[in-house]
A and B are shown apart, each in its own frame.
Chain A
């Protein structure tokens, strides 16, 4: 049982490049989340999804897009990377109703130069 898997684990981008971060979960969870974590800021919610085909904005959605075409995958896209998007990105998933503990991936460290 892999849980939540993030791909890639590390990436360096040049300003203006685009990329997609992949999050995959094998627990049949309804809810999925993308967070970013910067020093001294805690985790901030970027976007989330309450089910296949649905997405919603979190606290800091600007500069990111997401898609949930399949229940098990939640993609985070950066269309034109900026140095301000240098961060550690975490994906998580949870069941939608009770017993909704969230499971987190191990993170993607992204550097935009």
Chain B
């Protein structure tokens, strides 16, 4: 069973905010929401993670709904270099659900 559901693709204009949605309706209480991205031909790159509170770092913001069944990754000012596949992952930090498992992700295209 897929633990997360993401749209296949989306695009946004350079300089605008990119809001990438993710559904994880079966998330368990000890599971975190992680986001990674993969720029073409490179290894995946960690972006951000959170449990239930909203999180922000130098790359992005993560908004998790109160019921934790969905989240949104926000890139506040998208650039052409943000064009990549973005993966939303649900995982625990210990135990059987702690391994990092990727789905197909969402392809974000940033247009000039």
Contacts and interface: CB of A to CB of B under 8 A. Distances in A.
Interface stretch (B11-19, B20-28, B73-81, B93-101): B93-101
B44 interface: yes
B89 to A, nearest CB: 10
Contacts, number: 56
Contacts of A2: none
A90 B43 contact: yes
Task: Please tell me the size bucket of the interface on A.
Answer: 20 to 34
A58 to B, nearest CB: 7
A102 to B, nearest CB: 6
A105 B94 CA distance: 23
Contact of A43 (B41, B42, B94, B102): B102
Interface stretch (A63-71, A74-82, A91-99): A91-99
A33 B100 contact: yes
Given A97-B94, A100-B93, A42 B103 contact: yes
B93 A42 contact: no
Contacts of A100: 93
A62 B2 CA distance: 21
B106 to A, nearest CB: 11
Nearest to A109: B41
Interface string A40-67: 1111110010100000101100000000
Nearest to B38: A43
B99 A48 contact: yes
A106 interface: yes
B102 A104 contact: no
Contact of A101 (B49, B87, B94, B98): B49
Interface of B: 36, 38, 41-46, 49, 87, 93-94, 98-105
Interface of A: 4, 31, 33, 35, 40-45, 48, 50, 56, 58-59, 90, 92, 94, 96-98, 100-107
11 contacts: A40-B104, A42-B102, A43-B38, A45-B102, A48-B99, A50-B98, A92-B43, A97-B93, A101-B46, A102-B36, A104-B43
